[in-house]
Structure formats: structure tokens, C-alpha cells
Amino acid sequence: MATTTATSAPTAANYQPEERSFELRNGLVITARHWRSSPSGSARDCRRFLAVHGFLDNASSFDLLAPLMLQKLGPEPVEIVALDLAGHGKSSHRQTEDYGLWRYVEDMDQIVEQLGWTEQGHAILGHSMGGAVSSIYAGLYQDRVKLCILLDNYGPFTRSVEDQPLHLLEHIAEKKNLVNKRLPFHPTIQSACVARTNGGNFAMELSSAQVLVPRGLRPMERIVQELGSDGESKVEVVQQGYTWSTDQILTIRSAQSLSEGYVKAFMSRITAPFLAVLASQGLGPLTEMLELRTTWLAQTKSVTKRIVPGNHSVHLDNASVVASEVCSWILAQDSAPKARL
């Protein structure tokens, strides 16, 4: 008599990402983490997501959320490509020092071309600054973006046109001082993780920092003076440790900020179903944006806003709750991002 063996459904831990790199036309190399719920080369329909992290973060921002999404959206094949934006994580630094949001959009366009997703379409998933970039991208490539999902973001922050001269003066002053700015030194990866847990609404749980931080570090040496064996003389000792891999120019304000009119021009072009998952203790200015910016989304097929408990990095601190909100919404959409691989 034939017997069958029951197989359990895959858990989030079963999904391990592949490291990817994409060389752009300007010579930049953008690195990424690529999750797949089915083997490469499958001819079945698939949901595809381009994931974009927040300011000074990296692709590991999605290390907890992405596997949960693959699990919850199965058994249909799913792919999630989480980028290290230029100047972040393991990606190249720009030689031009131009980190305007539109430059990230240009990079993403080339990566989507290399992935072969241009005609097939895909969803966009962005946290914080990555959400701001995603909203511009979704307004620019209407036919390509099937779903637009923002995590604790509702489009780019802005300053009035009248404030632009002051903003530029502040940038120039900060850039002059950058040459004398010391890179932070962390003797261990753990100490860097602890440092990342601080920061008010930008703070995160230590367990989340331990997921995110290692990808954003590089080795560093520093010379310190210590007492010699005689207890009086001083000797120089080389300490091994770590500092952030992020391009240092990103630690000062940008040369140009966006106006409300600029952001409206892009967000009003978004046609894909739109979801914003906002943290209850997240960025305060978002609550002021919601009413006005929702009116800009008149072309979208649907606009959904959901509040989840947590700080700005809730997709790391409480990934299971965010995954449930995101995936239940995705499954409810008639135009889910399905395309041939």
C-alpha cells in the first residue's frame, strides 16, 4: 500500500537571500539582497517587489520582513530585491556627492532593467527615505509599478521655496566642517549596535540593530596612547574596530530640498493601489501630511492607511505585525503584481 509523507509549509527561516550586485552605466556598483520563494528560472507567475531602505540604513532593513512576506504570500512564487542605495551598506559611493532622491530613482530604473522587470511590472516597498524615493518612482513609472507600499512614510519631506537660500547656506557651512569631522569608532560590532538603539523616534530595539547594523559597518583602526609597562611612559597602540560604511557626505544636509509643488507633481501621478503603514510612535510630521497628500492620490485605484504600534523602525522591531498588515492588503488587491518570470 502506498504511503505519503506530509510536508510542512516553509517557515520564514527557510528563506535565505542571495547577494546580488548591479553595475550601473556610471560605474557605480549597487549591492542587494534577493529573496525568492521558488528556484531561479521558474516559468510560473510571480509577485515581484523592489524594496528600498531608509536614510543611513541598508538592505538588511528588510531581513526580518521579507521572509515573512514570502511565507504569507505563498504558495505563489515571490521575489523581493532589497537594495543598498548608493552610499549605503555595501554599495559604491557617488563621486559627484549628489545624493538627491531623483538619483536613487535613476539607479532603480537601471536595476529594474537588469532584473528584467521593466515590461513585467513589480511592486515597490519603501521605508522612511526609501518610501520618499518610492513615491517619486511610482509617480514616474506608472505602467511599471503595480503596488506602492510605504512604511512610516507618506512621501518626501519638503521645505518652502523661500527657505531654500537658508538651506543651501546651512549645507555649505556643514560641508566646510566635514573635513574636520571625526568618524565614529566602535571597538566591537555589538557596541555599534548599542549606539544605533539611541535616537528618540529613530531608535530601535537592540535585536533589530543586530540585524541591521553589521551590513553598514567597515573595519577601522585608530591609534591610542596607553601607559607603558613602567606605569609612567606612554606608548602608541593600534586599536581594531569599526565605523559606518555610509558615505560621510550623507551625514550633512543636502544641498537642495524639495518643495511641496515638486512632490505633488509626482505623487499626483501615482496610479497603483497605495498602502501606508504608519508607526504609532513614528515620525510626527507624517500626521500633518496625511489629509493634504491623500487628496494628491486621486489617480490611485485605492488608498489605505494603517497604524501599527511601534517606533519608526517598526518593520524591524515588530516585523510580524507589519508583515500581516502588508500581506493581507496585498492579497485583497485585484491587481496584484503578477508577471511572467
CA distances from 4 to 1, 7, 8, 75 (A): 10, 9, 13, 20
Rounded Cα gap, residues 285 and 276, in angstroms:
14
Question: Residue 265's pLDDT is what?
Answer: 97
Please tell me what DSSP assigns to residue 7.
-
pLDDT in the model for residue 2: 43
> Which CATH architecture describes the domain 12-161+254-340?
3-Layer(aba) Sandwich (3.40)
Please give the distance of CA 21 from its chain centroid, rounded to a whole number: 16
Which pLDDT does position 30 carry in this prediction? 98
**What whole-number distance in Å separates Cα of residue 296 and Cα of residue 313?**
26
- Spell out the residues 6+ positions from residue 262 whose beta carbon is closer than 8 angstroms to its own: 158
* Separation of alpha carbons 107 and 105, rounded Å: 5
State how far the Cα of 60 lies from the Cα of 75, in Å rounded to an integer.
24
State the pLDDT at residue 155. 95
260-267 and 129-140 helices cross at what angle (nearest 10)?
A: 60
Residues 38/46, Cβ–Cβ less than 8 Å: yes
Per-residue pLDDT of the chain (341 residues; tens, 9 = 90+): 444 444 455 676 788 899 999 999 999 999 999 999 876 544 347 899 999 999 999 999 999 999 999 999 988 899 999 999 999 999 999 998 889 999 999 999 999 999 999 988 999 999 999 999 999 999 999 999 999 999 999 999 998 899 989 989 999 999 999 988 889 999 999 999 999 998 766 889 999 999 999 999 999 998 877 777 777 777 777 889 999 999 999 999 888 889 999 999 999 999 999 999 999 988 877 888 999 999 999 999 899 999 999 999 999 999 999 999 999 999 998 654 544 33
> According to DSSP H, which parts of the chain are helical?
65-73, 101-115, 129-140, 164-178, 189-196, 206-212, 260-267, 285-296, 314-317, 319-332
pLDDT at 284: 75
Say what the pLDDT of residue 136 is.
98
The three-state secondary structure class of 309 is coil
Could you list the active site residues? Answer: 128
The full set of domain ranges for the chain reads 12-161+254-340, 163-251
